[in-house]
Structure 1
Amino acid sequence: MLGRIFFFILIVGLPLSIIGSLLHWPSLLMFIIYCITIIALANYMGKATESLAIVTGSTIGGLLNATFGNAVELIIAFFALKEGLIEVVLASLTGSVIGNLLLVAGLSFFVGGIKYKRQQFNVYDARHNSGLLMFAIIVAFFIPEIFSMTLSDSKTMVLSIGVSLILIALYLAALFFKLVTHRGVYQHSNQQDHEEVPEWSTQKSLIILVLSTIAVAFVSESLVHTFESVADALSWSELFIGVIIVAIVGNAAEHASAIILAYKNKMDIAVEIAVGSTLQIAMFVAPLLVLISLFFPQSMPLVFTIPELVAMSTAVLLTISIANDGDTNWFEGATLLAAYVIMGIGFYLL
């Protein structure tokens, strides 16, 4: 029944998105249509990811979901960089980090915890990811901000490029570690995915993932052009749009996938999506955007504002303290969600 609803939304929403964009319908109406369409597309990306995870395992399945989902984020940020909206791009990156760690993980723990009193996931992956999160957010993001206070703009940009190259190199090394040299070394899961039969074949899942990502990218790019009008109509600031709205919409696919999988007690892949996507944003997407910005008139240094840094580091520390034991419940999910709401209120007031 739910699948039919999403299918109906998709076959109606996607044409309306194209027609409305060509005919220049009111921005607020198009904003709603775009968001609903992205949610429907996210459902299909979630199903494709689940089928792939059964065949390839939770780590690769989660990585594929995060990669396809973050491709949308990267496309949105690219167009924003092209328009010179540096603050919006940095704010959207901040929103992706706190959104994945607090909103996605929080909703996953909460929704899954309502159905199951206790849910477990790979504790070794959780601890491995904790170190990377600490490095990416607490070290790599703070250093450019602190040093920029005494450095010139040109030297700050050089520092940002250096940090970006190191982040990308370490991220690729982390993938090599998890998928090659230490693949299967740290096994700790009570989920028997290998006994399940995937709903879709690997080929069909990959095709749907690619097509869904292309469709989401188109709708998301159109969505970017409605932000200014919607902000004026609803009295939202650019910072709030970047941190909350752009981040939620840009990562809608991952949000839906992680929550659905958590409800099915597939916590390994749900956590891999939430945390893996955060690491990909912090260690690959953000530094890549710094390097891409060098080709535009206005370069983007890897320098966040103090509220953004505090929000991201707080989200990292809270998530680590909750997830490091490889065990969770609905109350821990509610705690993460409460932190996200508090930060959302703060950014709205800014």
Structure 2
Amino acid sequence: MMDKLFTVLVLIGVPISIIGSIFHWPAVIMFIVYCLTIVALASFIGKATESLAIVMGPRIGGLLNATFGNAVELIISIFALKAGLVSIVLASLTGSVLGNLLLVAGLSFFVGGLKFKRQSFDINEARHNAGLLIFAVIVAFVIPEVFTRTMNDRETMILSIGISITLIVLYLAALLFKFVTHRGVYQSEHHADLTKQDEEPEWGKGKALLVLTAATVAVAYVSEHLVDTFDVVGKTFGWSELFIGIIIVAIVGNAAEHASAVIMAYKNKMDVAVEIAVGSTLQVAMFVLPLLVLLSLLFTASMPLIFTWPELISMVTAVLLMIMLTNDGDSNWFDGLVLLAAYVIMGLGFYFV
């Protein structure tokens, strides 16, 4: 049912997006069309990466899902940077961290927990990710804010570039550690049993890759025009740039992860669900955001790696809460409800900022 709905949305939404952008239809109407179209396209990205996950295993599948899901947000952010909307980009990346750790993981734990009393995932992987989350968000984001209070703009940007390069190098090293040098070393028996399960992918590898490419190209086009509607939509609904970035752009940009993680949890494939939620967060914090800082040097307005205190405190809180709830390798519906409640509270706070 949902597959048919998303197919109809793509078949209708993409042509309307093209026609509306050419003839400059009202921004508020086109904002809704663009968002629905991106969400529908993201569902195809999610389905394609789900098929690849069956072929390549839960870790690589989760990484692929996170990568192509974040490609949507990366594309939106590049066009926003080009338009000089630095605050919206930083806010959307904050929203991505909060959305993945609280909304995506929360929905996954809640929906999966309603069907299964107790769900398990690789505890070694959870502890490894916990250390990276603390480094990426607390060390790399909070500490620079402390130091830059006595720096000028040029020094702040130099520090941001140095931190960005360090984050990217460490992220690539983490992938090397996980998939090459220590592949299978810390694999639990539970995880090993899951990888032995036979399941036929819905799409073959060729079709999945073709859909991924086509959907990503379509998202790039729609995203460019979505960015142009932010100013009018914000004034119309009274939304601040912070709220648009943290809630609206983050939810639309991470639609692929949202759908895929919840589906995986409902199928009791928690290793994949957790890899999507946490892996996507790490990729945003340690690769996408630093990459955008470096790319911003090509545009008129460069983007320093500096967040507002509400953004920093919210991200730190989300990281600590996620670590506390996942460090035992188990989840249930109440854990999911706790994460969702935290997301609602933070969403209300950012709405009134």
The yes-or-no answer on 1:138 pairing with 2:145 is no
Residue 206 of structure 1, aligned match among 205, 209, 229: 209
Q: Give per-residue Cα distances to partners, 1:132-187, cap 9 Å, x unaligned.
A: 00000000001211001112221111111111111000000000001101112222
Distance 2:243 2:196 in 1: 39
The yes-or-no answer on 1:299 pairing with 2:302 is yes
Please name the residue that 2:183 is paired with.
Answer: 183
Within-5 A mapping of 1:87-126: 87-126=87-126
Which letter does structure 1 place at the counterpart of 2:302? Answer: S
The yes-or-no answer on 1:147 pairing with 2:147 is yes
Distance 2:130 2:165 in 1: 21
Which letter does structure 2 place at the counterpart of 1:157? Answer: M
Distance 2:140 2:57 in 1: 30
Please name the residue that 1:239 is paired with.
Answer: 242
Which letter does structure 2 place at the counterpart of 1:77? Answer: S
- Judged with a 3 Å threshold, the aligned counterparts in structure 2 of structure 1 residues 48 and 164 are, in CA distance, closer, same or farther, namely same
Task: Please say which of residues 184-193 and 285-294 is displaced more in the overlay.
Answer: 184-193
Q: Is the 8 A contact 2:50 2:65 kept in 1?
A: no
Q: Give per-residue Cα distances to partners, 1:101-149, cap 9 Å, x unaligned.
A: 0011111111111111111111111111100000000000012110011
Please name the residue that 1:313 is paired with.
Answer: 316
Please name the residue that 2:61 is paired with.
Answer: 61
C-alpha displacement of 1:192: 4.8
The yes-or-no answer on 1:333 pairing with 2:336 is yes
Instruction: Give the TM-score taking structure 2 as reference length.
Output: 0.96
Distance 2:32 2:86 in 1: 25
- Judged with a 3 Å threshold, the aligned counterparts in structure 2 of structure 1 residues 192 and 182 are, in CA distance, closer, same or farther, namely closer
Q: Give per-residue Cα distances to partners, 1:225-248, cap 9 Å, x unaligned.
A: 111111111111111101111111
Distance 1:62 1:222 in 2: 29
Q: Give per-residue Cα distances to partners, 1:257-304, cap 9 Å, x unaligned.
A: 111221111111111111111001100111111111122222211111
SS at match of 1:191: helix
Q: Is the 8 A contact 1:91 1:239 kept in 2?
A: yes
Distance 2:125 2:195 in 1: 17
Instruction: Give the TM-score taking structure 1 as reference length.
Output: 0.97
C-alpha displacement of 1:251: 1.2
- Judged with a 3 Å threshold, the aligned counterparts in structure 2 of structure 1 residues 159 and 55 are, in CA distance, closer, same or farther, namely same
Please name the residue that 2:46 is paired with.
Answer: 46
Please name the residue that 1:2 is paired with.
Answer: 2
Distance 1:322 1:306 in 2: 24
Distance 1:298 1:34 in 2: 25
Please name the residue that 1:268 is paired with.
Answer: 271
Distance 2:268 2:21 in 1: 39
Within-5 A mapping of 1:149-168: 149-168=149-168
Q: Is the 8 A contact 1:39 1:256 kept in 2?
A: no
Please name the residue that 2:291 is paired with.
Answer: 288
- Once superposed, which parts of structure 1, at least 4 consecutive aligned residues long, lie more than 6 Å away? none
Alignment: residue pair count: 350
Distance 1:215 1:324 in 2: 39
Runs of 5+ unmatched residues, structure 1: none
Distance 2:87 2:4 in 1: 40
Which letter does structure 2 place at the counterpart of 1:336? Answer: L
Please name the residue that 1:73 is paired with.
Answer: 73
C-alpha displacement of 1:40: 1.7
Please name the residue that 2:229 is paired with.
Answer: 226
C-alpha displacement of 1:307: 0.7
Please name the residue that 1:215 is paired with.
Answer: 218
- Judged with a 3 Å threshold, the aligned counterparts in structure 2 of structure 1 residues 122 and 228 are, in CA distance, closer, same or farther, namely same
Runs of 5+ unmatched residues, structure 2: none
Over aligned residue pairs, what C-alpha RMSD do you find?
Answer: 1.3
Please name the residue that 1:27 is paired with.
Answer: 27
Q: Is the 8 A contact 1:46 1:254 kept in 2?
A: yes
Q: Is the 8 A contact 1:220 1:249 kept in 2?
A: no
- Judged with a 3 Å threshold, the aligned counterparts in structure 2 of structure 1 residues 298 and 36 are, in CA distance, closer, same or farther, namely closer
C-alpha displacement of 1:321: 0.4
SS at match of 1:277: helix
The yes-or-no answer on 1:279 pairing with 2:263 is no
Task: Please say which of residues 53-62 and 40-49 is displaced more in the overlay.
Answer: 40-49
SS at match of 1:117: coil
C-alpha displacement of 1:196: 0.8
Q: Give per-residue Cα distances to partners, 1:13-66, cap 9 Å, x unaligned.
A: 221111122122222211221222222222222221111111101111111111
Q: Is the 8 A contact 1:28 1:229 kept in 2?
A: yes
